[in-house]
């Protein structure tokens, strides 16, 4: 029997001597104010067991991690041909690359880069009466947490400085891959990215992806086994911006990161784990979070490979 709590403590102590590299996502004014030395970790097993350390229950801005929620909502409930609007390939460029999008004629490489997340928002607006409420209610349902909300200050902060994201959506609109009004699409996109959750809440929300598409605590199926497999595959290959290969190589789990400093990963049929440390490396992923998860899968021998 693995003593996860002891392993958390061991890794945390080992990382105390590591130089605190990286910076918070200061290009988003609200995130620039975050203490860079926050740290939290939490793990929830499919059988319901839970383990946490430090600030594992403190909420933070999950940013691009939320793209998994909006994508799964579209993939599970919306009768739309998603794959005609985006691909499933690693980007190979930065998460907000205009050059790649131009080359691919307005078709995002995958749903987890910025352009892909924007197209998913466009699909949800086309198919749902109130897409913003639908996304929020969906996150509450899969996490079992009823007081999760959007942070309007963060959303507004991103809206006021999101020039590159507006360039992406306008470029896709010119290629006919955005069907709705740009302001409506971007309002949904920025709102989704502003969701605030803790590591504990994130593990509960992602647990259905570790449980063959079924929420363990409620028994409700969210995705079919086939679509669960495909979602996890896209997280494995595309969930970490232009560092998915390194994450697979060093950690070996499907997952998703966000520039708020959070990382969530799942081990099919076992657990979901989330780490939060706001200092980002050059690729936009949590520097300490990557190191923690690498040590975790090494010590527990729980890489999927």
Predicted structure pTM score = 0.96
Report the distance separating Cα 165 and Cα 241, nearest Å: 15
Question: Would you state the pLDDT for residue 85?
Answer: 95
Kindly state whether residue 303 falls inside one of the protein's structural domains.
no
* CA-only gyration radius of the chain, Å: 18
Give dist(CA 207, CA 216) in Å, integer.
7
Alpha-carbon gap, residue 211 to 203, rounded angstroms: 12
Burial 17-51 (b: 16+ CB within 10 A, else e): eeeeebebbeebebbeebebebbbbbbbbbeeeeb
Helix (H, G, I), strand (E, B) or coil at 184: helix
Give the range of the structural domain holding residue 92, as residue numbers without chain letter: 4-298
Rounded-to-integer distance, Cα 300 and Cα 92, Å: 30
73 domain-assigned:
yes
The pLDDT of residue 287 is: 96
Distance between CA atoms of residues 193 and 261, nearest Å: 13
- Whether residue 270 is contained in a domain is answered as yes
Is 36 inside a domain boundary? yes
Confidence (pLDDT) at 19: 84
Q: What whole-number distance in Å separates Cα of residue 150 and Cα of residue 222?
A: 22
Print the SS3 string covering 32-63. HCCCCCCCEEEEEECCCCEEEEECCCCCEECH
Confidence (pLDDT) at 296:
98
Structure tokens given for 215: 């929420």
pLDDT, residue 80, reads: 67
What pLDDT does 234 receive? 97
Query: Has residue 304 been placed in a domain?
Result: no
Per-residue model confidence (pLDDT) at position 95: 74
Please indicate, yes or no, if residue 197 is contained in any of the structural domains. yes
* Mean pLDDT, each 10-residue run in order, the chain (305 residues): 95 91 91 95 97 97 98 85 92 80 95 96 96 98 97 94 96 98 98 98 98 97 96 97 93 97 98 98 95 98 93
Identify whether 283 is part of a domain: yes
CATH number of the domain encompassing residue 106 = 3.40.710.10
- Structural domains of the chain, count: 1
Give the per-residue pLDDT at 24: 94
Q: Which of 90, 85, 81 is nearest to 107 (CA)?
A: 85
In a domain, residue 235? The reply is yes
Q: Is 202 helix (H, G, I), strand (E, B) or coil?
A: helix
CB burial of 234-250 (b: ≥16 within 10 Å; e: otherwise) equals: bbbbbbbbbbbeebbeb
Cα–Cα dist 31/38, whole Å: 13
Reduced to 3 states (helix: H, G, I; strand: E, B; else coil), residue 273 is strand
Tokens of 243: 């560092």
Structure tokens at 115: 């352009």
Helix (H) or strand (E) holding 245: helix 244-250
d(CA 69, CA 274): 15
């Amino acid at each position: 029997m693995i003593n996860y709590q002891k392993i958390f403590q061991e890794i945390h102590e080992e990382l105390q001597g590591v130089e605190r590299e990286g910076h918070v996502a200061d290009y988003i004014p609200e995130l620039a104010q975050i203490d860079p030395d926050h740290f939290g970790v939490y793990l929830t097993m499919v059988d319901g067991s839970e383990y946490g350390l430090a600030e594992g229950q403190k909420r933070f801005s999950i940013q691009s991690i939320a793209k998994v929620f909006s994508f799964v909502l579209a993939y599970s409930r919306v009768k739309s041909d998603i794959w005609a609007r985006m691909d499933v390939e690693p980007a190979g460029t930065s998460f907000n690359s205009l050059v790649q999008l131009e080359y691919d004629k307005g078709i995002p490489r995958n749903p987890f880069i910025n352009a892909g997340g924007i197209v998913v928002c466009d699909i949800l607006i086309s198919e749902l009466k109130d897409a913003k409420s639908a996304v929020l209610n969906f996150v509450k349902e899969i996490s079992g947490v009823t007081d999760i909300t959007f942070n309007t200050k963060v959303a507004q902060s991103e809206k006021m400085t999101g020039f590159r994201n507006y360039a992406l959506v306008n470029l896709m609109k010119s290629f006919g891959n955005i069907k709705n009004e740009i302001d409506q699409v971007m309002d949904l996109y920025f709102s989704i990215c502003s969701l605030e959750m803790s590591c504990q809440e994130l593990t509960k929300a992602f647990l259905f992806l570790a449980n063959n598409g079924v929420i363990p605590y409620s028994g409700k199926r969210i995705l079919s086994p086939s679509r669960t497999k495909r979602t996890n595959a896209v997280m494995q290959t595309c969930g970490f911006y232009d560092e998915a290969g390194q994450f697979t190589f060093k950690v070996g789990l499907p997952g998703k990161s966000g520039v708020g400093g959070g990382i969530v990963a799942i081990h099919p049929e076992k657990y979901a784990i989330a780490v939060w440390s706001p200092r980002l490396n050059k690729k936009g992923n949590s520097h300490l979070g990557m190191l923690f998860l690498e040590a975790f899968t090494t010590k527990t021998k729980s890489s999927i490979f």
